[in-house]
Amino acid sequence: MSNPSTGRQRVSRSKLSLCLIAVTFVLLGASSVYADIVGVLDSDLYHGSRHSGEDGGIYATGPWDGDFVLSWHITENPLGTFTYGYSITGLGGVNLTKDVKRWILQLAPSIDWTGVFDGLVDNDGVSYRTQVKLHKQGKANMPGDLFGLKFQDGTLEVSFVTDYVPEWGSFYADGGKIGKKENRQDVYAYNTGFGTLHTGADYTNWIAVDGKVNPVPEPSTLILLLCGTGLLAGAARFRKKT
pLDDT in tens, 57-84: 999 998 888 889 999 999 999 888 999 9
> How many whole angstroms separate alpha carbon 195 and alpha carbon 53?
20
Name which residue leads in pLDDT, 236 or 11.
236
What would the DSSP string read from start to end of 96-137? -TTT--EEEEE--TTS--TTTTTT-B-TTSPBP-EEEEEE--
Q: What is the mean pLDDT of residues 191-200?
A: 89
Given a cut of 80, whether residue 141 has pLDDT beyond it is: yes
In this prediction, residue 142 carries a pLDDT of: 93
Q: Which whole number is the average pLDDT over 183-196?
A: 90
Q: How far apart are CA 196 and CA 101, in angstroms?
A: 25
Q: For residue 89, name the pLDDT band (cuts at 50, 70, 90).
A: confident
Largest CA distance in the chain: 105
Burial 67-86 (b: 16+ CB within 10 A, else e): bbbbbbebeeeeeeebebeb
Answer yes or no: is pLDDT of 9 > 70.
Answer: no
Per-residue confidence (pLDDT) for residue 106, from 0 to 100: 95
Q: Is the pLDDT of residue 225 over 50?
A: no
Which of the given ranges, 90-99, 101-110, 120-129, 146-155, has the highest pLDDT on average?
101-110
- For residues 202-215, average pLDDT: 81
Q: Tens digit of pLDDT for each residue in 16-42?
A: 454 444 444 443 443 333 333 333 455
Portion of the chain with pLDDT greater than 70, in percent: 66
pLDDT, position 36? 35
Question: What average pLDDT does this structure show over 109-123?
Answer: 85
Mean pLDDT, the chain, whole residue set: 75
